[in-house]
Amino acid sequence: MNIERSEIEKLATLARIAINDETISEVTARLSSVLELVDQLSAADTSAIENVANPLQATQRLREDEVAEINQREALQAIAPDTEAGLFLVPKVIE
């Protein structure tokens, strides 16, 4: 697959990359070689290859939800600068 100079200029504009006239031909050649490799990969027959496992379809064994620590709210709120109704009060940072 060949790529045209105008396409390189359009891509450079979209990517906000400054490409001078000397490097456009080099970039065109490199992108054309990459696209040729992609065409070669697309042409490979993969019909006999089994799909790999998808990690999104896996399920995890879950542990029992058990309390591991005791409730220390009163002790922690005793040393807090300001609390109200069991909540920590913090300074407003967003107006």
pLDDT tens digits, one per residue of 69-78: 999 999 999 9
| Beta-strand relationship, 87-88 and 83-84 | antiparallel
For 5-43, CATH gives 1.10.20
- The pLDDT of residue 1 is 67
**Look-up of token digits 């999104």:** 56
Secondary structure percentages of the chain, helix, strand, coil, to 5: 45, 5, 50
Q: What is residue 22's predicted lDDT score, i.e. its pLDDT?
A: 83
Residues listed for the chain: 95
pLDDT at 50 over 70: yes
Confidence band, pLDDT 50/70/90 cuts, at residue 2:
confident
Task: Report the alpha-carbon distance of residue 31 to residue 3 in Å, rounded.
Answer: 7
Sequence ranges of the domains in the chain: 5-43
Round to whole Å and give the CA distance between 88 and 81.
8
